[in-house]
Structure 1
Amino acid sequence: MFQRKVGELAKRPHLVAADASVTQAAAVMAREGVSCLAAVTGAKVVGFLTERDLVRHLDVDLEPHTPIREFLSRPTGAIARDLPVSEAVKLMLERRVRHLAVVDFGGSLLGLVTDKELVDALAVDFMVESVTCRQLMRPDTAALPPDRPVREALALMRLRNVGCILVVADGRPAGIFSERDATARIMGRPERLAEPLSGHMSAPVVAVPADALVYKVILFMRQKGVRRVAVIEADGTLSGILTQQDILAYARRLD
C-alpha cells in the first residue's frame, strides 16, 4: 500500500465554540462543506462534532437551541502525524469512524484526516488493481421513493447506520438525501420532517457504471467533491452504492 503519512493529509479543523447551538454549528458545516467541527472553550479543543452526531438526533430529541457540548465526541484516540496511511485505514475501520484527529510530535492537535483524504491517497494503489465498482459496491442500498417523508429517511439512516438514502423512482436513482442535506436543509426547520424527500434531496445523483474501474471512480469522486456514488447498470437502473468506507474496506484487504 502506498506509504504516505497521515501528517501529509491532515487538514486544520474548522472551529466552533462549545456553547454554540446545534443550528449554528450546522450552518457552519453547510457553509464550509465539512462534516466535522472542532469544539473549543477558549483556545482548548474539548471535543468534535460530526454531521452524524446531529442527524442521529434530528428527528428525535434535538432542539434548535441546544448547545453542541451535549453531543460532542471527546478528543481521544488521536494518531501520530507519522502514522502510515495503511495503519490509519485500519484504525478508521476498526473504530467505525470517518474522522481521525492527528497530533504533532508534541501531542498538539495538527488537524483531522477523513475517509475522503485516505481514499484520495489510495488512488495510485487502485491503478494496479483491475477492480470494478461491482466488486466493491453495496447492493443492499438504503433507498426510498421520492414521495416518502424526510422523517422516514432519517429513521432509516439511523436504523441502517448509513450516511445517506438513495431516492429511487422506477428502479432508477432520482436523488440522494445525505447527512449534509439534513444538516443544511432540515436543521432548525422541524416542519420539514413531514415533507417529501423530493423537495430536499440533492439531484441529479452522481452515478457511475457498475463495471467502471475503481481508481477512475476515485478520481471522479474527487473531481465532483462527493463521498459516495450511485452504481448503475447499462440501462440506468440502480445496482448499488459505493462509498468511501467501501473503498477503504477493500484497500485494507489489499494490504
Structure 2
Amino acid sequence: MTHTTPLYTGLGLRRGLLPELLSMDSAKLDFLECAPENWIGVGGTFGQGLERLAERFAMACHGLSLSLGGTQPLDTAFLGRTRQFLERHRVRLYSEHLSYCCDDGHLYDLLPIPFTEEAVRHVAARIRQAQDVLGRRIAVENISYYAAPYQAMDELDFIRAVLAEADCDLLLDVNNVFVNACNHRYDAQAFLDGIPRERVVGMHVAGHYDEALDLKVDTHGAPVKEAVWSLFASACQRFGAQPTVLERDFNYPPLAELLAETARIRALQLAHGGC
C-alpha cells in the first residue's frame, strides 16, 4: 500500500506500545515514526507487528546512531541497510540528530557538537555524504544539551550555518528549544524567529522534567507541558502545519491519553498552522 495523504499528527513507535497500536483505529493518526536501528533485521512478533503497522500507517524514521558530528568514518554499511529499510517501508521523512554518539563504539547518548566554523564544515560534509548514500534529502534535529564543549557562535547561528552548508532540512524539536532556552538563558521565541522557514519539514513535541526553575531535563517520559504547547502553537504560526510527532519513551500511559495529546497537536495545527 502506498500512503499519499498529508502527514500532520504522528506518534513515536515503541515496542511497549505495539499491542495497543496494532488494535488502534488507523483514523486516529496520520503516521508513525520509528528509529530504524531498533527495527532493521528484527523478526518474530515485533517484526511482524512492524510489517502490519507499515501497511496501515504512513511511516517516518528518526535515526539514533549515525553520529553526524563524530570523528569516526560514517558507517556506510549501516547507511545502506537504512536505505533499504526506508525504501521497503516507503518512508517519506528521515531525520537524524545534530549530534555525535560514537567514539570507537557507541556512547548511548546524544552529545553536543562544538559550535565552531570548523565543526560546521565537518558535520555538513558528513550530512552531504549521508544524503548521497541514502539517495535522499534528510533533516537534522536540534538536540537538547546541558554542557557545551565550546561555543564560538551561538546555537541558532550554528544550526543555520549547518543547514546552509549541508543543504539539508531541519526537524524542529519544540521541546528541545524550550529546554535549551531555559537551561542556557535564551529567548525561545527569538530562536524560532531565527530559523529559516523553508528548512523546517517536521516537528517533535515531548515531555520534560522540571529539575529546577532554571534546569529542565528532556526525558520523553511525561505529558507535554503547557509552556511547550504554547511554543508549539507559535512554531505552527511560523512554519505551518508540519508533520509532528509526539515522543514518549517510557512511563507509558493508556494509549487514549497519548491520542489525546496527538489530537491536541492537530487542533493547534488547525488553529495556527494555516491548514
Q: What TM-score do you get using the length of structure 2 for normalisation? A: 0.22
Higher relative contact order (CA 8 A, sep 6+): 1
Per residue, is there more helix in 1 or in 2?
2
Q: What TM-score do you get using the length of structure 1 for normalisation? A: 0.23
